[in-house]
Structure 1
Amino acid sequence: MTDPNQPPSYPASSSPAPGAGAPVAPPQQVNIAFWLYIVGAALSLLSLIVSLVTIGASRDAIQRQIESQGQQVPNGAVDAAVGIGITFAIVFGILYIAAYVLFAVFMRRGANWARIVLLVVTVLSLFGILDGFGLGAARVVVGVIATVLIFLKPANEYFAAVKASKAPRA
């Protein structure tokens, strides 16, 4: 007879739970691609910082252009517009960098959807290759190399193995 104060006991199982597989280690090229994506995120952060540091020169150029066109702008309007631009740049820059790193982490864990997202982001970044004071070009080159690495044969096998290890077993 069982004691009602004790939790029920179940026999130990020697087989893994359905859908559970042995962990699959990422190949070296996936690890290299991960770190290249991290370098790309760092370059994006550096580009954001450089942009923020040089915003004063941009503000002065905007003010001169408005004055050269003979238009009157209320005092502080240019400063307010620049302040709003800086705020948006900081918020969206940080969100972009955080998402980029997060996708790289999921890619390294074998998430194929993250690999596809990184491919799309890399392709879209080709349109901004000249942005960021030369840092944009460096970030794009790093991203392209990382993206090529995650679509070569050992990486494809890794993503397939991770997917197979998560598939329910019959």
Structure 2
Amino acid sequence: MATPPHIPGLGAFLDKDSSTPRPAAPRPVTVAVWLLVLAAAAQIVASVMGIIHAVSPERAQVLQAQLAADPASTLSLEAMRNMGVITVVLAALATVSAYVLFAFFLHKGRMWARTATSVLVVLTLSQLVGIVFPGGFTTIAQLVLGSLAIALCYMPASKTFFADMKAYRG
């Protein structure tokens, strides 16, 4: 029987088949996972609001004024609206995917996911620039949920779980 190829770094994503039982995730880690899922849901709400704004008559007036200010522009109003919608959708897909992926790997006890979640929450701070309400409430919700999740991941029970999972994977 052939030996499977060795792929460097693949151990960060796959668990070894071990005869010892896998340590159970403590309650703080489980709560942190659900907080990240809620943050992903907040991003979905924010994205829906962003799409509604991108196709609104008020946004069309702003885009029309930009087009009028630059007579050499070859873009149309519809092209600019479509670019706005596509940007919102792609940003939503990336952000929601990141929240869900990091939540999944936090539950699996991956320390890198804890660090990546911290970076994601710090990047969410950049959304506070030019924040407009009521849409800004979703950004604040993401910051609060993400910060609580990170805090829970650094509690003593969580630290022990991450260390135990590292030892379990060998």
Q: For this structure pair, what is the TM-score category when the shorter chain's length is used for normalisation?
A: 0.7 to 0.9
How far apart are the structure 1 equivalents of 2:116 and 2:41?
19
| Residues 1:120 and 1:76: Cα distance change in structure 2 (over 3 Å) | closer
Asked whether the 8 Å contact 2:127–2:139 carries over to 1, the reply is: yes
Q: Considering only CA atoms, is the larger Rg found in Structure 1 or Structure 2?
A: 1
Deviations 1:4-51 (A, max 9, x none): xxxxxxxxxxxxx98543211111010111100000000000000001
Displacement of 1:78 in angstroms is 2.4
Asked whether the 8 Å contact 2:32–2:149 carries over to 1, the reply is: yes
Q: Which has the higher helix share?
A: 2
| Residues 1:25 and 1:58: Cα distance change in structure 2 (over 3 Å) | same
| Residues 1:18 and 1:73: Cα distance change in structure 2 (over 3 Å) | closer
Matching residue within 147, 153, 163 for 2:156:
153
How far apart are the structure 1 equivalents of 2:92 and 2:137?
17
1:154-169 equivalent positions in 2, closer than 5 A: 154-167=157-170
Asked whether the 8 Å contact 2:63–2:80 carries over to 1, the reply is: no
Asked whether the 8 Å contact 1:20–1:166 carries over to 2, the reply is: no
Asked whether the 8 Å contact 1:39–1:142 carries over to 2, the reply is: yes
Match of 2:123 in 1: 124
How far apart are the structure 2 equivalents of 1:63 and 1:113?
46
Matching residue within 124, 134, 138 for 1:135:
138
When normalised by structure 1's length, the TM-score is 0.78
Match of 1:83 in 2: 82
| Residues 1:135 and 1:91: Cα distance change in structure 2 (over 3 Å) | same
Match of 2:21 in 1: 22
When normalised by structure 2's length, the TM-score is 0.78
- For structure 1, which runs of at least 5 residues remain unmatched after alignment? 1-16
**SS of 1:134's equivalent?**
helix
Amino acid across the alignment from 1:62: L
Identical counterparts, % of pairs = 25
- For structure 2, which runs of at least 5 residues remain unmatched after alignment? 1-15
1:88-99 equivalent positions in 2, closer than 5 A: 88-99=87-98
